[in-house]
Amino acid sequence: MRARDRGRDRAQDRNRHRSRHRDPDRTRNRTRDRDPDRRPGARERRTGLRSVAGQVFALEALIALLVIAAAVFVTLHQARSDTEHDARIRSLAVAEAFAKSPGVDEALTSRDPTAELQDRAEATRRATGVDFIAVLSPAGVRYTDSEPQLIGRRATGDLTRATVDGESFTELFRGAPNDAVRAVVPVVDDRGRIVGMVTSGIELESVADAVEGRLPLLVGAAAGALVIAVGGAALVSRRLRRQTHGLGPAEMTRMKEHHEAVLHAVREGVLIVGADRRLLLANDEARRLLGLTADAERLHVSELGLDPRTVELLESGRSATDEVHRAGDRLLAVSVRPTIPDGHESGSVMTMRDTTELAALTGRAAVARGRLQLLYEAGVRIGTTLEVVRTAEELAEVAVPRFADFATVELLEPVLRGEEPPEAAAATTEMRRTALSGLRPDQPLQPVGDIVRFDVPSTPMATALGAGHAVVQAELAAAEGWRAQDPEGAAQALAFGMHSLLTVPLLARGVVLGMANFWRADTPEPFGEEDLSFAEELAARAAVAIDNARRFTREHTMAVTLQRSLLPRVLPEQSAVDVAYRYLPAKAGVGGDWFDVIPLPGARVALVVGDVVGHGLHAAATMGRLRTAVHNFSTLDVPPDELLGHLDELTARIDDRSEGPEGEGRRREEGITGATCLYAIYDPASGLCTVASAGHPGPALVSPDGRVEFPELAPGLPLGLGLGDVPFEVTELRLTEGSKLVLYTDGLLEDRGRDLDTGLGLLRSTLARPDRSPEQICADVLATLLSPSPRDDIALLVARTRLLERDRIAEWEVARDPSAVSPVRNAAAAKLAEWGLEDLAFTAELILSELITNAVRYGADPVRVRLLHDRALICEVSDGSSTSPHLRHAATTDEGGRGLYLVAQYAESWGTRYGRRGKTIWAELRPGAAGEPAPAALPDMDALEDLAW
């Protein structure tokens, strides 16, 4: 019983142990502890395993681990088998001893076998150390058992071998109550009858506990064996690491490849000499240079037939770098290094290369190196700008002093202007000196800006131009043609010390652009034939840069000319605002900025600024078309938001070629993706300014006292983005007289090193000074914000507002009654007389009569009449109807239809504009207008009121 209880306790302990090991947090911690990448030194150990020694160590350790693990497994298995066998023998012995003990057979046939045998069986179990002893009936029913609750129950398992055959046996029993090694022995009475059975056994848990008891000793022995095996492997690995220097298989393979390369492929001689000064290795190149035989290895260096200086160098053990030693008729550059740095007994490595021909080439190579470096610098320094003159100056600066003492560059006049150079040879005999650079300022050459002629064909310059390549005049004193061209200048140059000249034409695309002349005075060596190729290469690079600058100058000039022709040359006369403007094209390329001032009916004025995205001719042309479109749309006299809507639709279709693949590519290259525009209408009669923006920066508003504001506008979308369904919004500003409205493009604010906010701050501080005219404001703004090289166009428009004096405005409200026409007409005539416009009275009465009569008959309330006395007399009649009148020719039989025709005949201009409610028909008359008919030629004004449109 106690043994079985102990077995259960041990089983529970094992289960608790296993559950504890199955704790996920502990499992994670152990996993993290076992992670080799997280332990210190893991990287170093992995690096060590890459070596041959490390891999041998790992392999030996793995083999030892596998052998020891197999031994432990076999030992455990054998121990379990032996323990189980021992359990069978012991169980059988106990069962047989109990079955044959005196009185057992009699007890089995007694009235109460349990009472007779239970205590006896338990005493025997405790004494023998088995886990259980049970006495069974022939039918297998328990009379006794270690667990009293099982008495009276039938034992499980096959017991026929004992009950039928009378055989004692042992078996590995698996079933209730526990798995065990069980022995079954029949009990036979004196008459040979089987009266019962005795079973005894040891549970498998007890067998396992017996095996586990041996486990610590077995594990200790295995660990010791593993330590001994790993230690032996470590010693072997350490020895191998010393011999292989910690190299891995790949390194050793490469070392072998390098060794073969040094021996056979390297074109530099290599000798390796040991500490005893005997030859260890000589590669093929060293054998060739020194004439060594195949059996020269292991010979002393003094026996190799080397030059005494070379033998002394190898025997001394000192280091050397590029020492020149003789080997037969060769000159060798020899370098020597010890094989073991800082070693007392070290061999040496000697490398050698043949420098026989190199010595002769050293000087020329240095010169060639310098020329190549100079060409590289020329490629970097020449052509940094797209200016013809500056590019010529860069060519002269590069050549002095490293190639010439003085350098001059002459260019043809058309090239300087950006035009195409002439192809005729006769046109190249006269050039303008564009650049001059020299070692000293007191030079005798013609200054920059002078005309240089080559009239004498035998001059070096004329010869080079005619031949199309560089020409060297080594001795200037012998150049008869050069001296004949300008005897006085030649004499001064020779007296100054000029003694050699190299002249080369500047050719681009086979056409002469100019020429470059290189002079030597302080340098004693004259130019030679070897300088020709360098001079031509230098001139070719410079010619390409000059031609690029020329072409850019031409295109820039064309674009600027086109843009200036498309911008307003003279602002129109108007009384609403005083205007000043500035326009500056970008240095890098003309853009699409524009501005405009457009007079509108009713003494109003439209102020416009815009910016086409992109640069170049196409941007300028697009700007011109947009400006023309704004002029055309302004004649419709629509509000700013409607005008921008029309302009947006037009911009999307302004270039049909952009719809195809080629047009799209061209549009992408030129950077044209839309345009911005700001359109403002100012009315001097009311002081109201209506503004709408299509993606353009809003205006700056400067009050008469100098206070600067940037009114918030609905920004809108840029023109031409295909988003025409998004409406533009109008902002209304009430301006006092003398206010300044400043319109600009973003090129004024943004530039390299300055963002939009910084530009707005500078603009605010510049505008915050009162009592300045628009011209002064433009000058101050550009002086503050303009950078030396603006990268974008700049358009600036400053308008100072005026208000029409109240005594020059007359307004009347007209009732919807034909009889109300005459009083208004008479009041208008009186106001014209007050203004001193009696000469316009009859015509004005005629026009007002027609317009008011039409409004009364066909319009809607309210009907108003307004006269404005500005540069012209403006008559306006407005009503609440949106019906537009049309000019037509009435037939001779028609009773009406001639009213608008009369207005068109007698007014200098007329038109209709629509408001949010209703319309206004206006007519403009100028004092002293010719063609006014005599009053007698027309019917009475009251009769004209009856005429219909």
> Using H for helix, E for strand and C for coil, what is the string for 359-412?
HHHHHHHHHHHHHHHHHHHHHHHCCCCCCHHHHHHHHHHHHCCCCCCEEEEEEC
In this prediction, residue 897 carries a pLDDT of 52
In this prediction, residue 939 carries a pLDDT of 44
Identify whether the C-beta of residue 575 lies closer than 8 Å to the C-beta of residue 871. Answer: yes
Contacts of 240 (CB under 8 A, 6+ apart): 52, 53, 56
pLDDT, greater one: 830 or 898: 830
Mean pLDDT of the chain: 80
Q: What number is the average pLDDT over the span 21-46?
A: 41
In this prediction, residue 39 carries a pLDDT of 41
Q: How far apart are CA 607 and CA 747, in angstroms?
A: 18
In this prediction, residue 630 carries a pLDDT of 92
In this prediction, residue 930 carries a pLDDT of 40
Q: What number is the average pLDDT over the span 125-145?
A: 85
Among the residue ranges 360-364, 468-472, 898-902, 939-943, the one predicted with the least confidence is 939-943
Q: What number is the average pLDDT over the span 100-104?
A: 84
Q: What number is the average pLDDT over the span 89-114?
A: 84
Q: What number is the average pLDDT over the span 681-687?
A: 93
Number of Cβ within 10 Å of residue 809's Cβ equals 18
Which segment, 101-115, 265-279, 626-640, is predicted with the most confidence on average?
626-640
In this prediction, residue 850 carries a pLDDT of 84
In this prediction, residue 769 carries a pLDDT of 86
**CA proximity to 525, closest of 398, 395, 363:** 363
Q: What number is the average pLDDT over the span 86-95?
A: 84
Q: What number is the average pLDDT over the span 171-189?
A: 81
In this prediction, residue 738 carries a pLDDT of 92
**Percent share of the chain, pLDDT over 70:** 83
Judge whether residue 310 has pLDDT over 90.
no
Q: Give the model's confidence band at 605: pLDDT under 50 very low, under 70 low, under 90 confident, else very high.
A: very high
Judge whether residue 655 has pLDDT over 80.
no
Angle between helices 2-21 and 204-244 (to 10 degrees): 40
**CA proximity to 180, closest of 276, 307, 316, 84:** 84
Judge whether residue 590 has pLDDT over 50.
yes
Which segment, 162-176, 308-322, 436-450, is predicted with the most confidence on average?
436-450
Judge whether residue 929 has pLDDT over 60.
no
Judge whether residue 488 has pLDDT over 80.
yes
Q: What number is the average pLDDT over the span 185-201?
A: 85
46-60 burial, b for 16+ CB within 10 Å, e for fewer?
eebeebbbbbbbeeb
Judge whether residue 364 has pLDDT over 70.
no
pLDDT in tens, 337-356: 888 776 567 788 888 887 76
DSSP tally for the chain: helices H, then strands E: 27, 30
Q: Exposure of 535 by Cβ count < 10 A (0-12 exposed, 13-18 middle, 19+ buried)? A: buried
pLDDT, greater one: 283 or 693: 693
Contacts of 714 (CB under 8 A, 6+ apart): 692, 693, 728, 729, 731
Q: Give the model's confidence band at 22: pLDDT under 50 very low, under 70 low, under 90 confident, else very high.
A: very low
DSSP H or E stretch at residue 643: helix 640-652
Identify whether the C-beta of residue 273 lies closer than 8 Å to the C-beta of residue 279. Answer: yes
pLDDT, greater one: 946 or 302: 302
Judge whether residue 264 has pLDDT over 90.
no
In this prediction, residue 343 carries a pLDDT of 58
Among the residue ranges 19-28, 242-251, 472-481, the one predicted with the least confidence is 19-28
Angstrom CA distances, 622 to 568, 594, 628, 654, stand at 15, 11, 10, 8
Q: Is omega for the bond preceding 818 within 30 degrees of 0, making it cis?
A: no
In this prediction, residue 654 carries a pLDDT of 66
Q: What number is the average pLDDT over the span 698-721?
A: 90
Q: What number is the average pLDDT over the span 290-316?
A: 83
In this prediction, residue 6 carries a pLDDT of 45
Q: Give the model's confidence band at 773: pLDDT under 50 very low, under 70 low, under 90 confident, else very high.
A: very high
Three-class SS state of 945: coil
Q: What number is the average pLDDT over the span 850-864?
A: 85
Residue reference for tokens 């068109």? 904
Judge whether residue 26 has pLDDT over 50.
no
Q: How far apart are CA 813 and CA 815, in angstroms?
A: 7
Judge whether residue 708 has pLDDT over 70.
yes
In this prediction, residue 426 carries a pLDDT of 62
Judge whether residue 235 has pLDDT over 70.
yes
Residue reference for tokens 């700008």? 385
Q: How far is CA 213 from the centre of its chain?
A: 71
Judge whether residue 664 has pLDDT over 80.
no
pLDDT, greater one: 731 or 571: 731
Judge whether residue 336 has pLDDT over 80.
yes
Q: Exposure of 161 by Cβ count < 10 A (0-12 exposed, 13-18 middle, 19+ buried)? A: middle
Q: What number is the average pLDDT over the span 12-25?
A: 45
Judge whether residue 406 has pLDDT over 90.
yes
DSSP H or E stretch at residue 77: helix 52-99
Q: What number is the average pLDDT over the span 81-98?
A: 83
Judge whether residue 501 has pLDDT over 70.
yes
In this prediction, residue 722 carries a pLDDT of 59
In this prediction, residue 615 carries a pLDDT of 73
Among the residue ranges 642-646, 783-787, 891-895, 897-901, the one predicted with the least confidence is 891-895
In this prediction, residue 780 carries a pLDDT of 92
Among the residue ranges 195-204, 443-452, 539-548, 587-596, the one predicted with the least confidence is 587-596
